[in-house]
Amino acid sequence: MNMYQNIFMNAGQGTIAAPLAIMVTSKAKLCIIAISGRIAEWTNANSTRLGADIKAAIAAGADSCQIYVNSVGGNVFEANEIINLIEDNFESDNITVKVGALCASAGTIFPAKYHATGKPNSQFMIHKPKMGVGGNEDEIEANLKLLKNLTSQYKTMYATKFGITEDAVEALWAKGDYWMDAKAALKMGLLNAIEKEDEKIDAAMHLQLVACGAPQTYKPEGTTHKHENPKPIKMELSVLAVTLGLPADATQAVVDAKLAEVQALAATAASLKQAAEDKSAAEITGKIKALLDQAEIDKKITASVRGNYEAIGQNSFENLEAILKTVAPVRALSNQLEGGGPDVDASGNDYSKFTFADYQEKAPEAYLALMESDPKKAEALKNAHYKD
């Protein structure tokens, strides 16, 4: 029986998506790789061409790489292959990312792995990898294991960049697509900085944003239609009077007075609405502060990652509550010792030979404890993992 598989992460699966386009240019010592559209249909020919273009940029003097991403996502394997090809030619420390209007699903692997900047109107979305698969039961079970491994890898990647636990990432995407604007992505840690200028939104990009369910779709630039001889529209006084609840024969002065009254009421209503919104925002901010203060007291989080959890709370206070309920208190390794050495806990578990991947897979709480007691060692393990 033939088996087929397709593991993907993209917004608006099944909707209209721009095809994959990759363009390589060089500017002084910088190799610029622009990736747009749905990451799919990556072939050996694509790989050979991209590799050749990168080599040409290096031959011209490029020693660092900037990746521009404007994508709904796509096939996770193909996204990984693109990264592998780039890292074959540039050191990770010499790779940066710029995000366009949209960076969703598998496309987020780029800002999650490297120093990244976005536009004020950039939008981001993460969710669990998905799989389309067929075959016999053994083949399906094997691919289910593969999917679980990929999900674990993405969860670890997001947790590392966001500075939160993997359980917190699980809670973020538990309800499906998790969207962030640029400010939320910056506060969460996915972005390192926001640029000054907005990304230009053309008609095609507008359709992509609509199709993938982005919270903000923006009006395409250059779509305003101008008329050579616009004719002003003026409502008849009698019609306006009746609309305002006045007699049809009301004078201009009476109508003007009523209009002023209505405008004043509208301004008051708008002011009251804004005051209510400000009060609600202040209450939410207060609730978030109280919740995180208690979480620090309970040793569930540390001050260094508090900002990341604040970003989650501003997006959804309910999500933050759910996440913190799943987080176990972090104990310093010094409080776990029982004569077994600095890498042995009270239960006799020996972490001395653990890699970053071992910690994330087998003992994430122990890694959090290591971050608190020996941050240099924790950082070294993480750097070694992503360098490999």
Comparing C-alpha atoms, which of 160, 188, 183 is closest to residue 308?
Answer: 188
Comparing C-alpha atoms, which of 141, 146, 168 is closest to residue 155?
Answer: 168
Q: Which domains, from first to last, does the chain contain? A: 4-211 (3.90.226.10), 234-322 (no CATH), 333-387 (no CATH)
pLDDT in tens, 299-339: 888 887 888 888 888 888 888 888 888 777 765 444 443 33
Comparing C-alpha atoms, which of 98, 169, 129 is closest to residue 10?
Answer: 129
Question: Which residues in the chain land under pLDDT 70?
Answer: 1-17, 42-45, 133, 221-244, 330-348, 365, 372, 386-388
Comparing C-alpha atoms, which of 187, 159, 186, 189 is closest to residue 172?
Answer: 159
pLDDT in tens, 6-34: 444 555 544 456 788 889 998 889 999 99
Please give the Cα distance from 348 to 167 (Å, whole number): 24
Structure-block tokens of residue 101: 């209007």
- Quick one: pLDDT at residue 102? 94
pLDDT in tens, 215-244: 887 777 654 444 344 444 444 666 666 666
